[in-house]
Amino acid sequence: MINKDLEILKSWNDEDSKRAILDFLRTAEVKGPDYIKPEDRIATFDNDGTLWVEKPVAVWFDFMFKAFYKAAIDDPFLAHLEPYNAILENDQDYISKIVDQNPEALLSLEKALAHAWGGKTPDEFDKEVSDFISTAKHADFQVSYTKLIYKPMLELFELLHEHQYRVFVCSGGGRDFMRSIAESTLGIFKENIIGTAAEYEYKNGELIRINKVLGGISLGPGKVEHIFATTGRYPVFAVGNSDGDIEMLDISRFKLIINHDDSDREYSYTDGAENVLNNAEEKGYTILSMKNDWKQIF
Amino acid sequence: MINKDLEILKSWNDEDSKRAILDFLRTAEVKGPDYIKPEDRIATFDNDGTLWVEKPVAVWFDFMFKAFYKAAIDDPFLAHLEPYNAILENDQDYISKIVDQNPEALLSLEKALAHAWGGKTPDEFDKEVSDFISTAKHADFQVSYTKLIYKPMLELFELLHEHQYRVFVCSGGGRDFMRSIAESTLGIFKENIIGTAAEYEYKNGELIRINKVLGGISLGPGKVEHIFATTGRYPVFAVGNSDGDIEMLDISRFKLIINHDDSDREYSYTDGAENVLNNAEEKGYTILSMKNDWKQIF
């Protein structure tokens, strides 16, 4: 088993984070105080910045902002409200507030999100995602966003599956957006994607999206709520990269943080991750250095 | 494969329902117009009356009514409201309305359900379920409810798993109630249970149940909404036994109804299933006769 594990994690250097993962998995399989029953083997991963690039702007934000821009052009009433106004005017201060998860900005986002795509069917929404994904390019890398998924993370999915963990993605962003691309890019089923989502109403033989967010935004404490609603459990293995992941990490046994410190191959930043990084030692988080711990990123 | 399939369905007589199931599974695996891709292989089962006995009263109702009874005793204000009053006074007319899914009665139930167990943690709720399950006995059979799960249905779960279907239970009743017992009695993970559920709020390191139902009651159109929210798909294989399952059956490719026609070994009744039975031929539902199609029920 050990040799096979090492073979699976082929993009990982022999550093602390890899050793901590392998140690955790091995210990959890030995009967004793740290044993984890197969039914409890739930792993949850944050999405943006944990599974793929989130700078200069998270993919979900790019998709959403383009839709809000169009909505504000179509409906002048919206143009005076936030976040539409900020997007139309390219008000970077307000956009930073959203990206940095300022509560007031998040509330305006939640409202806009509930309003967007109202009246659409799941197929119509999927079509918009697929059009976006097939045309949008990353601002710096100039490739499709789906080329910017971290290869070592897909290997970690495989390793966890080998050890009978059920792997869930818990995104702060749109659940249905990620479900649209989960199977072809992440190799996990739609039902393993948790995230912020609109309610749908089934009427006249169709599901129609209504202007309501189901169970609130999946961020911070919301991640724990959404994970419990989906799985009925707390995860035992959690991976994140920002302060919005703190609650999810804290309820988990194994807690891994991605530190974006690789300005050559990706980006180097700590904004939005100050608390999670500063309290790592006290909280027992394992820190993964993208620069040192990964042989290959994409 | 065929021989193994027959071996798995050992409690099933060689009748139409068994043949229709095996035909469907075989056809769905052959490339062609009826082929179903592995990712689309979602099977959903109603719970009460489909997986276990629901007469004279569904297990979930028994659990819930006992809790409402206690709540009405503790809080005289509640005692004047429905459904508490009906439960205190043993008002069978009103209780029948709930059981038969009268809209007004269901609304009173939804409110009571949102109110019940408010402020409790998941562990506290699980403890109540476990106390109930370990002491409650079925009124007629005088055994624990968990002894009244239909053996042929567990075999059907196994058959579907063999054919790479993901099996979900979609209950009109309480999701967390069924999750408490799903793994030990049905052999499926908690995350494969869909149903009516309260919202939880994560605060001070704990999940606390709040007075809100997450996404409405999982019945009729609500079943389709909950199945989509959980899986991101429509099922291709659906099994039910009452009019509350119609929408779930109609969106599925294979549609199976359990007809309770076995007064010797279980019960014989059609109330609450009039529409689903009367329209079966027109709608392409396969009807399973408990009396003729099952060698053994429990």
- Count of residues for chain B? 298
Residue A150 has pLDDT above 70, yes or no: yes
Instruction: Note whether B218 and B172 are within 8 A (CB).
Output: yes
Q: What is the DSSP string of A52-76?
A: B--SSS-HHHHHHHHHHHHHHHH-H
Residue B113 has pLDDT above 90, yes or no: no
Domain membership flag for residue A50: yes
Residue A1 has pLDDT above 70, yes or no: no
- pLDDT of B115: 83
Q: In which element (H, E) is residue A287 found?
A: strand A286-289
What is the rounded average pLDDT of the residues B287-296? Answer: 98
Residue B2 has pLDDT above 80, yes or no: no
- pLDDT of B111: 86
Pick the last residue of a domain from A78, A104, A135: A135
Q: Report which of B133, B120, B105 is spatially closest to residue B71, judged by C-alpha positions.
A: B120
Phi, psi dihedrals of residue A195, rounded to the nearest 5°: 175, -175
- CATH number of A161's domain: 3.40.50.1000
Assigned token pair, B221: 């159109």
Domain membership flag for residue A298: no
Over residues A202-256, the pLDDT tens digits come to 999 999 999 899 999 899 999 999 999 999 999 999 999 999 999 999 999 999 9
Asked whether residue A212 falls in the same domain as residue A264, the answer is yes
Q: What percent of chain A has pLDDT over 70?
A: 100
Instruction: Note whether A184 and A161 are within 8 A (CB).
Output: no
Asked whether residue B48 falls in the same domain as residue B170, the answer is yes
Residue of A nearest to B188 (CA): A39
- pLDDT of A116: 87
Cα-Cα-Cα-Cα dihedral sign, residues A136, A141, A143, A147: negative
Average pLDDT along chain A = 95
Q: Which of A224, A231, A250 sits opposite B207 (nearest CB)?
A: A224
Instruction: Note whether A82 and A95 are within 8 A (CB).
Output: no
What is the rounded average pLDDT of the residues B254-259? Answer: 98
What is the rounded average pLDDT of the residues A24-39? Answer: 97
User: pLDDT grade, residue B192 (50/70/90)?
Assistant: very high
Asked whether residue B163 falls in the same domain as residue B218, the answer is yes
Domain membership flag for residue B298: no
Q: Which amino acid is at B174?
A: G
CA distance B51 to B62: 16
CA distance A96 to A159: 36
Residue B99 has pLDDT above 80, yes or no: no
Of A6-10, A268-272, B91-95, the least confident = B91-95
Residue B109 has pLDDT above 90, yes or no: no
Over residues A58-93, the pLDDT tens digits come to 999 999 999 999 999 998 899 999 999 999 999 999
B171: which chain A residues are within 8 Å (Cβ-Cβ)? none
Residue A293 has pLDDT above 90, yes or no: yes
Pick the last residue of a domain from B114, B135, B156: B135
Asked whether residue B91 falls in the same domain as residue B194, the answer is no
The residue with tokens 């594990």 is A5
Asked whether residue B192 falls in the same domain as residue B242, the answer is yes
Over residues B83-98, the pLDDT tens digits come to 999 999 999 999 888 8
Residue B9 has pLDDT above 80, yes or no: yes
Domain membership flag for residue A206: yes
Q: What percent of chain B has pLDDT over 90?
A: 87
A221: which chain B residues are within 8 Å (Cβ-Cβ)? 201-203
Q: What is the pTM of this model?
A: 0.96
Assigned token pair, B174: 């309480």
Q: Are strands A237-240 and A254-259 parallel, antiparallel or unpaired?
A: parallel
Q: Which amino acid is at B150?
A: Y
What does the buried/exposed string (b/e) look like for A6-36 if buried means 16 or more CB atoms within 10 Å of the residue's CB?
A: eebbebbeeeebbebbbebbeebbeeeeeeb
Contact B122 A228 (CB under 8 A): yes
Instruction: Note whether B72 and B79 are within 8 A (CB).
Output: yes
Residues 6+ apart with CB under 8 A from B157: B45, B167, B186, B187, B188
- pLDDT of A263: 98
Residue A3 has pLDDT above 90, yes or no: no
A125: which chain B residues are within 8 Å (Cβ-Cβ)? none
Average pLDDT along chain B = 95
- Count of residues for chain A? 298
How many interchain CB pairs under 8 A, A with B? Answer: 84
Domain membership flag for residue A45: yes
B179: which chain A residues are within 8 Å (Cβ-Cβ)? 232
Q: Which amino acid is at A249?
A: L
Residue A152 has pLDDT above 80, yes or no: yes
Residue A161 has pLDDT above 80, yes or no: yes
Asked whether residue A31 falls in the same domain as residue A74, the answer is no
What is the rounded average pLDDT of the residues B184-205? Answer: 97
Alpha helices in chain A (DSSP H): 2-8, 16-28, 59-74, 76-79, 84-88, 92-99, 103-115, 122-135, 151-162, 175-185, 221-231, 246-250, 274-278, 280-283, 290-293
User: pLDDT grade, residue A101 (50/70/90)?
Assistant: confident
Asked whether residue A239 falls in the same domain as residue A98, the answer is no
B283: which chain A residues are within 8 Å (Cβ-Cβ)? none
Pick the last residue of a domain from B135, B157, B174: B135
Q: Which of A39, A183, A202 sits opposite B224 (nearest CB)?
A: A202
- Give the CA count within 13 Å in the CB-facing half-sphere of A291: 9
Contact B202 A221 (CB under 8 A): yes
Q: Report which of B123, B117, B98 is spatially closest to residue B199, judged by C-alpha positions.
A: B117
Instruction: Note whether A190 and B231 are within 8 A (CB).
Output: yes
Q: Based on the structure, what is the number of domains in chain A?
A: 2
Q: Residue A200's beta-bridge partner residues?
A: A209
Asked whether residue A73 falls in the same domain as residue A119, the answer is yes
- pLDDT of B214: 94
Asked whether residue A256 falls in the same domain as residue A159, the answer is yes
Cα-Cα-Cα-Cα dihedral sign, residues B213, B223, B95, B103: positive
Instruction: Note whether A174 and A194 are within 8 A (CB).
Output: no
Residue A111 has pLDDT above 90, yes or no: no
CA distance B6 to B158: 12
Asked whether residue A116 falls in the same domain as residue A147, the answer is no
Q: Report which of A33, A60, A12 is spatially closest to residue A218, judged by C-alpha positions.
A: A60
* Chain A: closest CA distance from residue B157 (Å): 18
Contact B221 A214 (CB under 8 A): no
Residue of B nearest to A203 (CA): B221
Asked whether residue A18 falls in the same domain as residue A51, the answer is yes
Q: Residue A205's beta-bridge partner residues?
A: none
Residues 6+ apart with CB under 8 A from A174: A60, A63, A64, A113, A195, A196, A197
Domain membership flag for residue A103: yes
Residue of B nearest to A168 (CA): B191
Q: What percent of chain A has pLDDT over 90?
A: 87
Structural domain boundaries, residue A124: 59-135
A232: which chain B residues are within 8 Å (Cβ-Cβ)? 122, 176, 179, 190-191, 193
Domain membership flag for residue A116: yes
Residue of A nearest to B252 (CA): A205
Residue B1 has pLDDT above 70, yes or no: no
CA distance A76 to A73: 6
Q: Which amino acid is at A8?
A: I
User: pLDDT grade, residue B181 (50/70/90)?
Assistant: very high
How far, rounded to the nearest angstrom, does the alpha carbon of residue A276 sit from its chain's CA centroid? 16
3-state secondary structure of B81: coil
Asked whether residue A40 falls in the same domain as residue A160, the answer is yes
- pLDDT of A110: 83
Domain membership flag for residue B96: yes
ipTM higher than 0.90?
yes
